[in-house]
C-alpha cells in the first residue's frame, strides 16, 4: 500500500488511493473553477512520474465534486489564462508546448485511465478527457471548446486528436462554433463512453473496472495499450509488427508463463502472482 508521503508531490490534485482496487482517485478542487495553471501542470508531471513507475496502481480516475457559487457543477473550466497576463508570445507558446507534451504523456501512461466529468468541462478540460482510456459523464456534465472565440485553437493536443476520436464533422462543429454539448450528446458523438447518474455511481462503476484490472497482468495491460496506440493510423504490416512485439514482451517478461501455470485459478476469478510491470 502506498504511504501518504508518496502522494505528496501530487497533493494539489487531491489524490486518494484505494489499495483494495489499486485505484488512484484525483478529486480536483482548486482555484475558482478547477482551472489549470502552472502549479497544476507541475502536479500532473509528478503524477506521470509516479504512474510510470508504481505498478501497484492499476487504474486512475480523475473527477471533481466542485460547484460554483451559483451552484453550477464544475469539472475543469479550462486553462488558467489569468496567469498569462503580461506574458510575451514566446512564453505563451512555450507554455502551451509544455501542456501538449503533458497531455501526450498522460495519454500513454502504462495503466488504465478514466475520467469522470460532473459539470463544466471547457477547453483544456475537454482536451484532458481525450487523454483517458475510458471517459464517463453525468447528465450535469457539459463540454465545449471556446478557443476559436479567443483567437486561438485547442492547442493542448485537442486539434490533433479530436477528429480521430469523434470524426471530422463533430470535431469541426465543436471547435469552430464553440457549441456546448451535455453528457448524453457527448456520449452519442464519442467524446465520452458512458453516462452515469452522479459522481458516486460513476466511482462505483470505475471501481468495478479497477477490480477487473487488479486481476490482470500489469505488463500485459501496458503492452496492449501501447500496441493499440502505436498502431493507430498505421498500415496493416506495421500494425502486425507492433502486435508481435507487444505479445513477445509478455512472453519474455515471464507473464505468459505465469498465466499458463495459473490457468485454473484465473478461470475461477483469482489473481495469480503477476510480476512487476514491464514496459520495455
Answer yes or no: is pLDDT of 174 > 60.
yes
Residue 184 maps to a domain: yes
C-alpha cell at 199: 459522481
Q: How many CA atoms lie within 13 A of 62 on its CB side?
A: 26
Eight-state DSSP code of residue 125? H
The residue behind cell 510480476 is 275
Instruction: Write out pLDDT tens, residues 5-33.
Output: 479 999 999 999 999 999 999 999 999 99
pLDDT beyond 60 at 1: no
The grid cell for 65 is: 465534486
255 is catalytic: no
Mean pLDDT, residues 164-188: 98
- The per-residue pLDDT for range 221-265, each reduced to its tens digit, is 999 999 999 999 999 999 999 999 999 999 999 999 999 999 999
pTM of the predicted structure, to 2 decimals = 0.95
Strand order in the sheet with 112-117: 15-18, 23-27, 59-63, 112-117, 134-137, 194-195
The residue segments making up the domain with residue 172 are 4-213
The one catalytic residue in 27, 35, 127, 243 is 127
Residue 267 phi/psi, 5-degree rounding, is -65, -25
- Look at residue 127 in the predicted model and tell me its pLDDT: 98
How far apart (Å, rounded) are the C-alpha atoms in residues 170 and 164?
10
Residue 230 falls in the annotated catalytic set: no
Residues 184 and 103 in one domain: yes
Whether residue 102 is contained in a domain is answered as yes
Given the residues 27, 54, 83, 147, select the one marked as catalytic: 147
State residue 5's pLDDT score. Answer: 41
Do residues 182 and 262 share a domain?
Answer: no
Same domain, 163 and 101: yes
Amino acid at each position: 500500500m502506498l504511504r501518504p508521503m508518496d502522494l505528496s508531490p501530487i497533493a494539489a490534485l487531491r489524490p486518494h488511493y484505494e489499495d483494495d482496487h489499486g485505484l488512484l482517485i484525483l478529486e480536483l478542487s482548486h482555484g475558482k473553477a478547477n482551472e489549470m495553471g502552472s502549479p497544476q501542470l507541475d502536479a500532473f508531471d509528478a503524477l506521470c512520474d509516479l504512474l510510470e513507475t508504481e505498478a501497484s496502481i492499476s487504474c486512475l480516475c480523475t473527477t471533481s465534486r466542485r460547484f460554483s457559487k451559483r451552484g453550477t457543477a464544475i469539472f475543469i473550466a479550462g486553462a488558467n489564462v489569468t496567469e498569462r497576463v503580461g506574458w510575451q508570445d514566446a512564453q505563451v507558446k512555450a507554455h502551451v508546448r509544455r501542456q501538449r507534451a503533458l497531455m501526450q504523456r498522460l495519454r500513454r501512461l502504462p495503466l488504465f485511465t478514466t475520467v469522470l466529468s460532473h459539470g463544466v468541462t471547457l477547453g483544456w478540460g475537454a482536451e484532458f478527457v481525450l487523454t483517458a482510456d475510458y471517459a464517463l459523464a453525468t447528465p450535469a456534465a457539459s463540454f465545449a471548446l471556446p478557443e476559436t472565440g479567443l483567437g486561438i485553437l485547442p492547442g493542448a493536443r485537442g486539434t490533433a486528436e479530436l477528429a480521430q476520436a469523434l470524426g471530422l464533422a463533430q470535431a469541426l462543429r465543436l471547435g469552430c462554433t464553440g457549441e456546448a454539448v451535455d453528457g448524453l450528446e457527448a456520449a452519442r458523438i464519442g467524446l465520452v463512453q458512458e453516462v452515469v447518474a452522479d459522481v458516486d455511481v460513476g466511482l462505483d462503476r470505475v471501481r468495478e473496472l479497477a477490480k477487473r484490472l487488479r486481476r490482470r497482468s500489469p505488463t500485459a495491460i501496458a503492452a496492449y495499450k501501447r500496441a493499440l496506440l502505436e498502431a493507430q493510423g498505421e498500415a496493416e504490416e506495421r500494425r502486425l509488427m507492433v502486435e508481435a512485439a507487444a505479445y513477445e514482451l509478455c512472453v519474455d517478461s515471464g507473464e505468459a508463463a505465469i498465466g499458463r501455470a495459473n490457468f485454473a485459478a484465473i478461470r475461477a476469478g483469482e489473481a495469480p502472482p503477476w510480476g512487476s510491470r514491464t514496459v520495455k
